[in-house]
């Protein structure tokens, strides 16, 4: 068995375990906040070659995440034969408006919209790509609003108290579909702090739902904290190094 396949199988077992137990590993979750299975795994393949993505796909993985636009688009083109077989591409992280066109044309999801301007650019370019025959898929671009739950200046994302207002602005856009919320929490080993930040995103989702906006996705949790994220209700986890190994350096000329 290849290392990537073995890693994927291990992560899937960990996801299942985390969804069925509290973090202490002793008590099965039986409360109303327990997430519904299955929990989607996004294999974050940034800086990794297309051959590794193909290997993961052959092992059964279907959702892949990229953080760099040009690198992602090139990889999507190289693996175009996998489109008909069900591969799905997620762009993760802050997006510059001048790259919205490429993302709208080539990706299926965007995790990281924190401004109406970006959402509008994505919607406009998604519709234009359909009209010009660039995008054969007639489905809208799925969007998750990125929320800065930690309050760190270095983190992207809308402020928690501005999340509902942005959601209301995005919902009417044609060409995109608001699916939920996304966050990258503080890099801390303090599990209590992790739980509090993930719980805040869950609370914000509840607020959005209470205002009649249908969302079904909480994109939160990475290699180091996905178990806690799942305990707090994650429906999508984004895992890279635990599947593909340590990442290489950033792509020259690109920003996340």
Question: pLDDT by residue (tens digit) across 55-111?
Answer: 999 999 999 999 999 999 999 999 999 999 999 999 999 898 999 999 999 999 999
CA distance 240 to 246: 8
Supply φ then ψ for residue 237, to 5 degrees.
-120, 145
The answer to whether 71 and 251 are in contact (CB under 8 A) is yes
Residue with tokens 């949790």: 221
Bond preceding residue 38 cis, omega within 30 of 0: yes
The answer to whether 233 and 33 are in contact (CB under 8 A) is yes
pLDDT at position 255 over 50: no
Q: Give me the residue spans of the domains in the chain.
A: 3-10+37-244
Identify the CATH class of 3-10+37-244: alpha beta
Q: Is the pTM of this model over 0.95?
A: no
Question: pLDDT by residue (tens digit) across 177-196?
Answer: 999 999 999 999 999 999 99
CA distance 244 to 226: 16
């Amino acid at each position: 068995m290849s290392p990537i396949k073995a890693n994927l199988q291990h992560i899937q077992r960990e996801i299942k375990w985390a969804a069925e137990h509290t973090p202490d590993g002793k008590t099965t979750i039986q409360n109303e906040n327990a997430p519904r299975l299955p929990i989607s795994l996004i294999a974050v393949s940034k800086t990794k070659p297309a051959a590794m993505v193909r290997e993961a796909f052959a092992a059964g993985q279907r959702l892949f995440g990229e953080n760099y636009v040009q690198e992602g688009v090139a990889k999507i083109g190289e693996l175009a034969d996998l489109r008909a077989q069900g591969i799905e591409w997620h762009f993760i992280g802050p997006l510059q408006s001048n790259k919205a066109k490429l993302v709208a044309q080539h990706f299926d999801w965007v995790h990281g919209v924190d401004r109406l301007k970006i959402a509008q650019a994505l919607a406009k370019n998604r519709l234009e790509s359909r009209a010009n025959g660039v995008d054969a898929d007639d489905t809208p671009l799925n969007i998750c609003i990125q929320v800065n739950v930690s309050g760190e200046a270095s983190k992207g994302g809308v402020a928690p108290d501005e999340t509902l207002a942005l959601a209301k602005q995005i919902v009417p856009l044609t060409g995109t579909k608001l699916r939920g919320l996304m966050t990258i929490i503080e890099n801390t080993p303090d599990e209590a702090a992790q739980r509090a930040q993930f719980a805040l995103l869950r609370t914000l989702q509840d607020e959005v739902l209470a205002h009649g906006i249908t969302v079904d996705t909480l994109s939160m949790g990475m290699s180091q904290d996905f178990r806690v994220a799942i305990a707090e209700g994650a429906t999508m986890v984004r895992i890279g190094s635990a599947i593909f190994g340590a990442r290489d350096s950033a792509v020259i000329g690109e920003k996340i």
